[in-house]
Structure 1
Amino acid sequence: MGNMWGGNRGAVERFKKTNGDLFAQFEKRSNPDQLINNPRIVNGNETSQQIEKTFCEILELDLITLKSHLQTDQYNAYTVLCAFVWRAIKINNGINCITELIKEAFDTAEALDDAYEETGEKGELFGLPFSVKSNFYVSNFFIKFQYILSVQMENYDVTVGLAKLLEQPKTTTCPMVKFLSKQGAIPFCLTNVPQGLLSYVSSNPIYGTTKNPWDFSRTPGGSSGGEAALLAAGGTTFGIGSDLAGSLRIPAAFCGLVTLKPTESRFYVTDTHGGLPGRGRLGLSFGFYTKTVAEQEFLLRQIVGNPEYLELCPMSSPAELRDTTLDIDKKPTIGWFVDDGFNPVVPSNRRAVEQTVELLRAQGYKIVEIKMSEVSEEFPPFAVANMLFRNVMPDNGAYMSEMYGGEQYDEYMKLFIRLVRVKQNVLISWLIRYGAMPLAKFLFSKRLACIGSAYNSDLAACRQNQENTDIYKLQWIRYWKSKNIDALICPSFITPAQPFEYPAQLSTGAFITGLFNMLDVPAGVVPVSPVNQDDVDLLNDPVDGFPLEGDIILRKQRDSAQKSVGLPNAVQVITLPNCEEMCLRVMKIVESVSVGVQRLQWRSEEDRTETMDEKNTPAGVISSHEYFKRIPLHISK
């Protein structure tokens, strides 16, 4: 049994004991019953009912309004933190999205309030509790508030779900976390990721499986899935994550959130576990999860090009967000496609794009159809997909195979891990590439054959693939310029949120997101509507709905999208490199013309009486409704 944990079973058991104790402490410290007459609680602290009422008022506010209320003393940092910890722990009991709580959070809130009392000054993000994807380093650093040295953080592990990395705390801190803390925001928890990061199901043997708050039988995506799930459920003000092949965007699409993957150099971040050290030509980007585009823009304005951030991370671009691009009157010209030429999307995701484009056309926007097959004669879409997956594993999976060695495999990642490890056997790898994959192309799936043959036979082949990537990037930009477009709208992913067992079988879907890491361009996600019954009915129409082409991958894809009515449905917005301002502008336009998706709101114990059609409602949705109400999202248009 010890070998199942890489010989680290004792560390796993010690962690679970310590972590359980800390959750109990946080639950007690944030319990309204324990806060009666606590002088740090504002707006009434004589009864638990008063305190709970204040907490609920805080938790219903959007980020911008809460920030304003904190700046104008309607709330203090301590009360707001207690409210979010109180709610986040309840949420975590349902969907298992938090891996660790940051011990110093309460001390940080107290220090913020005390510093304000002494100086009368507040940082721009004063008192906003936020969650941190657990691949970000958080270690021994002092949080400084208006030149008052106050709270010292301890060192935290970054395990990414691997037992061998327990009890190896980091000694540096991610500059993104440090900057946000210096502005007065409070990191209070770390959130779940896939085992080793390289998947879009957030599950691992140490921390367990994170559920999508919209449907407890489905994944919130990955690798930033814990972040997205917690924010969608209302347990944090905003989240931060990373994106190597869709790790911000897939969870945003699955959970009904907004995010923007910037150009890598526009907002550079260090001191994180990137998932794949020494990766090929893939832009590793970092960003935020928010509920609206306005919140996204607000947070990006705080950090992108900020001189204080550049002091912490000099490799980041000094270019701030330019108002001229964000606010100009001229309507942008918008391109679109629904077919990437490699992996078709299901009807709901196709409709999301087509419906958005028609709404924009009706508003007078010039719309231009883009065809991926026209971008390059030299590299058709299947060749580009092969190029992408060779960039993901330039060493053919050797690093990943070693990373997973000696570990207990997560039940939802077993297939992926075994495929990675079997490629390290030279004979088996040769048979797969030259025997099984050509056969698979004709018998099972040309898409599976494409990624199965993504192999760099030697260093020269690896170099050639990187050169081809550079050539394709230039061809992409030239094609874009020839179409005279300012932005592009395309599917956010191949399906809505999937049941847990499907991501390991549908890695081909990462092409629609990973392509834009390979191109290293801004890529945002905006929720536009829920999946409807017509979308699901079309799934089962092989002629006009979702042709299967005799492909086992497409059959799995169809099956993964069954019973998805009501789940969030989103689009991607793409721009040229370093044009984040235009990306935000078009995201805001898309948001303004779309119906959007509802928001989840926590149900009180007294409110858990909603009647549902249990016969025709998926069990995971019924479980979700026990915890969350669906409420309209109000966005200023």
Structure 2
Amino acid sequence: MIQEKLRQLLPEVEVDPRAISALLCGSATAILVLKWVGRRRIQEKMEEARRTRDLGLERMEQAAWKFKQKNPGVQTSFILSLPLVELAEKLKEGSLSPEIVLYTYIDKALAVTQEVNCVTDFIQGCEEQLQELTKQKEKGLLYGVPISIKDHIGCKGHISTGGLVQFLSKVEEEDSMIVKVLKRQGAIPFVKTNVPQSMINYDCSNVIFGQTVNPLNHKKSPGGSSGGEGALIAGGGSLLGFGTDVAGSIRLPSSFCGLCGLKPTGNRLSHGGLVSPIMGMKSVTGTIGPMARDVDSLVLCMRALLCEDLFQLDPTVPPIPFNEEVYSSSKPLRIGFYDGDGYFQPSPSMKRAVQETKRLLQGAGHTLVPFSPPRIDYVVDELFTKGLFSDGAANLLDKLKGDIVDPNLKSQVNTYRLPVVLKRIGALLLKPVYPRIARDLNALCGVGSAKNLWKQHAAVEAYRKEFIAKWRKLQLDVILCPALGPAFNAGYPGKLFAATSYTNLYNVLNFPAGVVPVTTVTHIDEEELKDYRGHYGDLWDKRLKEAVEGAVGLPVAVQCVALPWQEELCLRFMKEVETLAHKRKQSLTY
């Protein structure tokens, strides 16, 4: 066939079959060589990144050792036991020095990452910043507090990888906006933490730095995409960290690791200087926010960040300072609640966490009103999935070109790579048997045109109005609902991306939402899980059951939600939930 074609194209040239065979073999060899060279370059980039990481860990070890030699007898266990608010007070009054605190946390972070593989970079500038800090006359609200930041949050002189090889060669020329404000408030960013490849996953693994595991149970995922943050803070290696959230990426690792995390309204905090594989996507709102061991830490953080420095550095952020009056109010709340969204049946512990919290809130004098999110199937498929992948995942796939796909992301990426026609055919064939999976596959085709994208944006606005109208009709202040959990077995988040329905709803709506741990998985929960069937009885329901198995003793959280720009009310509600849950735990202990 090839010879015949060549004769047609070159009729006067005698075609030698042996020459053609040699040409084809040579071409095939050239292609293989090019592929090998490309793969080798990728390997070299990854190896260089790992060497940089390992060198950073060595420097952390040396810095901690030198400090211990100069300061024998420092009570590091006491420092590590202090809550953030108390530590910040001691730093500000001078009873603890920033130097002691920083090196204590450098040493602890090193120990934690050796156990769970969560630190990707040591921010060497922290030692220089420490020297400058001691010369400052004015002390910010976070004076001397060591801070950890998610890998893709820009830090001058460091690489923001996003778990992708494409980003390995770009060294940040300046700090991100949030890092600039943190430094002005006296905080000391000292490490960057691991993420899943591309960050469109809520496990925490990439081919550059490997898998991060949950410090509470190494067979479990720490969640993601801010999974390195969750693991480091839960392991005690950081007091306060920063993650980002476009589908639950702050709230899911907080839930899986037993932490408190806040997803603010989009642009309440500046997201300038962040790397993203889906830059330009506007249908679903991503945001940056804090993660910590308690709500008080989140409150202190928001007080510090919502300052004049932030508003001047980024004039696109609305100049709304922290509202102390709203946060400190003791007025009883009118709380909407639901213990299942109708899309994914909650695990037994998820449902119990909401029901127990509801009773505690009622006992404290608050009014609880049943609420159900309208048209949740429509939200997940048509607004979230179709919005997040409105380009048919083209931008994301571009960022993965030439990369080695992480095993935990393969099932997702293989689906994204299917031609639109095959997605449509697959959805049609699956619809009678697995309607939910069929709708999701259809949504992954994207919107198809700019005209349809405008329609999609209009649909999000219409749904937001519908949701707020229902909220107003019931005269709600806030909403209590489940947070996905307990921690999934490693590898399962990549197979259950749609299970983020409990969190991604509030990215579509652009409402502030936080999670608070309130209980732990019991043996009764584990027994009840055996009867779990889900709403659809499909492959996803089966996988969710498998994902949460073996979690006795692990934390379970609830989600607290407020209307846009009401972070203070959301935090006030979170604090109320945390206080009541703590009192209940104490009463059961005694």
TM-score in same-fold range (> 0.5): yes
Give the CA deviation at 1:5. 4.8
Which amino acid counterpart does residue 530 of structure 1 have in structure 2? T
Instruction: Confirm or deny: 8 A CA contact 1:77 1:110 kept in the other structure.
Output: no
- CA distance in 1 between counterparts of 2:236 and 2:267 reads 31
Instruction: Confirm or deny: 8 A CA contact 1:3 1:406 kept in the other structure.
Output: no
- In structure 1, the residue corresponding to 2:82 is in which secondary structure? coil
Instruction: Confirm or deny: 8 A CA contact 1:341 1:381 kept in the other structure.
Output: yes
Which moves more between the two structures, 282-291 or 261-270? 261-270
Are positions 1:55 and 2:76 aligned together?
Answer: yes
- CA distance in 1 between counterparts of 2:273 and 2:67 reads 37
- CA distance in 1 between counterparts of 2:152 and 2:423 reads 33
2:505 alignment partner, one of 491, 496, 515: 515
Which amino acid counterpart does residue 360 of structure 1 have in structure 2? L
Q: Report what 1:447 is aligned to.
A: 436
Residue deviations 1:434-477, cap 9 Å, x none? x322332332x322122111032333322222111111010011
Q: Report what 2:567 is aligned to.
A: 580
Give the CA deviation at 1:184. 1.4
Are positions 1:135 and 2:152 aligned together?
Answer: yes
| Correspondence list, 1:70-149, <5 A | 70-113=91-134, 115-116=135-136, 119=137, 121-139=138-156
Which amino acid counterpart does residue 63 of structure 1 have in structure 2? L
1:227 alignment partner, one of 210, 226, 229: 229
Instruction: Confirm or deny: 8 A CA contact 1:161 1:195 kept in the other structure.
Output: yes
- CA distance in 1 between counterparts of 2:216 and 2:318 reads 37
- CA distance in 2 between counterparts of 1:215 and 1:552 reads 25
- CA distance in 2 between counterparts of 1:229 and 1:124 reads 25
Q: Report what 1:393 is aligned to.
A: 389
- CA distance in 2 between counterparts of 1:512 and 1:442 reads 25
1:466 alignment partner, one of 431, 446, 457: 457
Residue deviations 1:184-230, cap 9 Å, x none? 11111100011011100111000111111111111111111101110
Instruction: Confirm or deny: 8 A CA contact 1:528 1:596 kept in the other structure.
Output: no
Q: In structure 2, do the counterparts of structure 1 residues 20 and 460 end up closer, same or farther at CA, with 3 Å as the change threshold?
A: same
Give the CA deviation at 1:2. 5.1
Q: In structure 2, do the counterparts of structure 1 residues 267 and 597 end up closer, same or farther at CA, with 3 Å as the change threshold?
A: farther
Residue deviations 1:499-537, cap 9 Å, x none? 121111111111211110110011111110111111111
- CA distance in 2 between counterparts of 1:124 and 1:547 reads 47
| Correspondence list, 1:18-417, <5 A | 18-31=52-65, 34-35=66-67, 38=70, 45=71, 47=72, 50-51=73-74, 54-113=75-134, 115-116=135-136, 119=137, 121-139=138-156, 155-304=157-306, 306-372=307-373, 375=374, 380-386=375-381, 387-417=383-413
Give the CA deviation at 1:57. 1.4
Percentage of matched positions with identical amino acids: 30
- CA distance in 2 between counterparts of 1:261 and 1:18 reads 31
Q: Report what 1:488 is aligned to.
A: 479
- In structure 2, the residue corresponding to 1:125 is in which secondary structure? coil
Q: Report what 2:45 is aligned to.
A: 11
Which amino acid counterpart does residue 346 of structure 1 have in structure 2? S
Instruction: Confirm or deny: 8 A CA contact 2:277 2:395 kept in the other structure.
Output: no
Q: In structure 2, do the counterparts of structure 1 residues 536 and 595 end up closer, same or farther at CA, with 3 Å as the change threshold?
A: farther
Give the CA deviation at 1:106. 1.8
Which amino acid counterpart does residue 29 of structure 1 have in structure 2? A
TM-score (norm. length: structure 1): 0.83
Q: Report what 2:580 is aligned to.
A: 593
Instruction: Confirm or deny: 8 A CA contact 2:343 2:535 kept in the other structure.
Output: no
- CA distance in 2 between counterparts of 1:336 and 1:290 reads 25
Give the CA deviation at 1:9. 2.5
Q: Report what 1:566 is aligned to.
A: 553
Higher-Rg member (1/2): 2
Which amino acid counterpart does residue 125 of structure 1 have in structure 2? L
Give the CA deviation at 1:332. 0.9
Q: In structure 2, do the counterparts of structure 1 residues 446 and 597 end up closer, same or farther at CA, with 3 Å as the change threshold?
A: farther
Instruction: Confirm or deny: 8 A CA contact 1:506 1:553 kept in the other structure.
Output: yes
TM-score (norm. length: structure 2): 0.90
Residue deviations 1:576-597, cap 9 Å, x none? 1111121111111111111489
- CA distance in 2 between counterparts of 1:286 and 1:90 reads 27
Give the CA deviation at 1:75. 1.7
Q: Report what 2:13 is aligned to.
A: none
Which moves more between the two structures, 279-288 or 96-105? 279-288
Q: Report what 2:522 is aligned to.
A: 532
- In structure 2, the residue corresponding to 1:246 is in which secondary structure? coil
Give the CA deviation at 1:3. 6.0
- CA distance in 2 between counterparts of 1:328 and 1:24 reads 48
Which amino acid counterpart does residue 94 of structure 2 have in structure 1? D
- In structure 2, the residue corresponding to 1:316 is in which secondary structure? coil
- CA distance in 1 between counterparts of 2:362 and 2:36 reads 61
Give the CA deviation at 1:321. 2.0
- In structure 1, the residue corresponding to 2:340 is in which secondary structure? coil
Give the CA deviation at 1:173. 1.8
Q: In structure 2, do the counterparts of structure 1 residues 2 and 320 end up closer, same or farther at CA, with 3 Å as the change threshold?
A: farther
Give the CA deviation at 1:479. 0.7
Q: Report what 2:543 is aligned to.
A: 556
Q: Report what 1:615 is aligned to.
A: none
- CA distance in 1 between counterparts of 2:148 and 2:534 reads 41
Which amino acid counterpart does residue 403 of structure 1 have in structure 2? K
Aligned length: 550
- CA distance in 2 between counterparts of 1:35 and 1:278 reads 45
Q: In structure 2, do the counterparts of structure 1 residues 175 and 36 end up closer, same or farther at CA, with 3 Å as the change threshold?
A: closer
- CA distance in 2 between counterparts of 1:596 and 1:15 reads 46
- CA distance in 2 between counterparts of 1:132 and 1:36 reads 25
Instruction: Confirm or deny: 8 A CA contact 1:274 1:284 kept in the other structure.
Output: no
- CA distance in 2 between counterparts of 1:36 and 1:215 reads 30
Instruction: Confirm or deny: 8 A CA contact 1:99 1:191 kept in the other structure.
Output: yes
Residue deviations 1:262-295, cap 9 Å, x none? 1113223211013421113212211101111111
Instruction: Confirm or deny: 8 A CA contact 1:260 1:287 kept in the other structure.
Output: yes
Instruction: Confirm or deny: 8 A CA contact 2:339 2:346 kept in the other structure.
Output: yes
- CA distance in 1 between counterparts of 2:513 and 2:341 reads 15
Which amino acid counterpart does residue 94 of structure 1 have in structure 2? E
- CA distance in 2 between counterparts of 1:241 and 1:537 reads 34
Give the CA deviation at 1:370. 0.5
Give the CA deviation at 1:169. 0.7
Q: In structure 2, do the counterparts of structure 1 residues 587 and 3 end up closer, same or farther at CA, with 3 Å as the change threshold?
A: farther
Instruction: Confirm or deny: 8 A CA contact 1:412 1:504 kept in the other structure.
Output: yes
Residue deviations 1:525-563, cap 9 Å, x none? 111011111111111124xxx446431110110111111
- CA distance in 2 between counterparts of 1:597 and 1:241 reads 30
Q: In structure 2, do the counterparts of structure 1 residues 123 and 346 end up closer, same or farther at CA, with 3 Å as the change threshold?
A: same
Give the CA deviation at 1:6. 7.9
Instruction: Confirm or deny: 8 A CA contact 1:242 1:285 kept in the other structure.
Output: yes
Residue deviations 1:21-42, cap 9 Å, x none? 23112202202xx33563xxxx
